């Protein structure tokens, strides 16, 4: 799979402050890419460079293997964290206006808007003003005008902000459909559960530097510790606990199960495997819970930033 966006050694300074320091990353075509980092890390600066709102001081950005230029603006859709709709202009009129700024003619824009308004069941909103809508309702309009011109690259900055769980799930499904239809998506968020659900690749920026990137599954493998959650119902839990202590590294559990009388975390040593552990605990016990501990995106985020 080719890269739709290649960021090569990009740096950006504002006076004595370094917003980005020699950052490089590749974003695969047709993927959902998580751009992560704490507040002030440099994510917004990078997004502004991709949107050509500002320019890098050094380094280069390639879009479809071509140096990023003004012609690419029509191929990019950007949903900023700070939304920017006109408060007193009718929703339909401003959606048409924004669609035409992205190159759609009036007829095509109306057709596409009608389709989206029907999909989101908001056809009666056409003549309303943004001031008449809740934050979540206004978010739907912002989402529509971002994706309406069917750009190759979509950048969503906190796209679920303001949505209740039902509408957040609606937007999530639409994002996946956009990906399945060929769009590439950069997804910037602090909601790590959304990263788990949506992102195939991630990059983590901290203090203006990229400190981590790659496929999320590969990163999880790198961070896992060969630890298993074990919950059993044993006729002699004290004896089983002693056997485990003599053979493995065990620690207090942090998970919940129902029906066990022995619960702990078991870490395998270099020459041990999960099959032997399972055989040991199942000899005279009912296994209620047996699961490898896979680090979450949230745990990886915190661990990487705290140790940077």
H or E stretch covering 218: helix 216-223
Q: Domain range spanning residue 238?
A: 225-292
210 and 229 part of one domain: no
- 307 lies in a domain? no
138 and 204 part of one domain: yes
**Structural contact between residues 280 and 247, judged by C-beta atoms closer than 8 angstroms:** yes
- 298 lies in a domain? no
What CATH number should be reported for the domain holding residue 182?
A: 3.40.50.300
Residue 220 pLDDT: 95
- 64 lies in a domain? yes
151 and 272 part of one domain: no
Residue 83 pLDDT: 67
Spell out the per-residue pLDDT of the chain, length 308, in tens. 699 999 999 999 999 999 999 999 999 999 999 999 999 999 999 999 999 999 999 999 999 999 999 999 999 999 988 767 888 888 888 889 888 888 888 899 899 999 999 998 888 888 988 888 888 888 888 999 999 999 999 999 999 887 889 999 999 999 999 999 999 999 999 999 999 999 999 999 999 999 999 999 999 999 999 999 999 999 898 999 999 999 999 998 888 887 778 899 999 988 899 999 999 999 888 999 999 999 999 999 999 999 98
200 and 101 part of one domain: yes
What CATH number should be reported for the domain holding residue 285?
A: 3.30.70
Cα separation, 244 vs 251, in Å, equals 11
Residue 253 pLDDT: 86
216 and 201 part of one domain: yes
Cα separation, 66 vs 80, in Å, equals 25
Residue 135 pLDDT: 81
Cα separation, 45 vs 52, in Å, equals 10
Q: Report the candidate in 190, 200, 264 with the shortest Cα–Cα distance to residue 234.
A: 264
- 238 lies in a domain? yes
pTM for this one?
0.87
- 308 lies in a domain? no
**Structural contact between residues 84 and 157, judged by C-beta atoms closer than 8 angstroms:** no
- 303 lies in a domain? no
The total of structural domains in the chain comes to 2
Cα separation, 246 vs 257, in Å, equals 24
Residue 204 pLDDT: 97
- 267 lies in a domain? yes
Alpha helices in 51-164 (DSSP H): 91-101, 106-119, 135-147
35 and 69 part of one domain: yes
């Amino acid at each position: 799979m080719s890269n739709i966006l290649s960021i090569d050694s990009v740096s950006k300074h504002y006076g004595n402050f370094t917003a980005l320091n020699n950052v490089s990353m590749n974003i695969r075509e047709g993927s959902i890419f998580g751009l992560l980092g704490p507040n002030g890390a440099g994510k917004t600066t990078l997004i502004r460079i991709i949107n050509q709102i500002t320019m890098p001081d050094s380094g280069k950005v390639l879009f479809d293997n071509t140096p990023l230029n003004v012609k690419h603006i029509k191929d990019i859709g950007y949903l900023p964290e700070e939304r920017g709709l006109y408060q007193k202009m009718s929703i339909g009129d401003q959606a048409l206006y924004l669609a035409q700024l992205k190159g759609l003619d009036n007829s095509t824009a109306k057709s596409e808007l009608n389709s989206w308004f029907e999909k989101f069941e908001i056809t009666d909103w056409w003549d309303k003003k943004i001031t008449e809508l809740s934050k979540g309702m206004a978010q739907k309009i912002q989402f529509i005008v971002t994706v309406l011109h069917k750009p190759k690259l979509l950048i969503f900055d906190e796209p679920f902000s303001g949505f209740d769980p039902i509408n957040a799930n609606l937007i999530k499904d639409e994002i996946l459909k956009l990906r399945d239809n060929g769009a590439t998506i950069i997804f910037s968020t602090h909601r790590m559960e959304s990263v788990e659900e949506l992102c195939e690749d991630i990059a983590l920026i901290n203090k203006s530097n990229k400190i981590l990137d790659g496929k999320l599954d590969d990163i999880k493998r790198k961070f896992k510790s060969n630890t298993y959650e074990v919950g059993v119902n044993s006729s002699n839990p004290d004896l089983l606990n002693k056997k485990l202590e003599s053979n493995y590294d065990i620690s207090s559990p942090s998970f919940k199960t129902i029906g066990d009388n022995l619960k702990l975390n078991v870490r395998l040593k270099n020459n041990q495997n999960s099959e032997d552990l399972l055989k040991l605990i199942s000899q005279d016990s009912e296994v209620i819970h047996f699961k490898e501990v896979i680090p979450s995106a949230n745990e990886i985020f915190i661990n990487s930033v705290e140790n940077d």
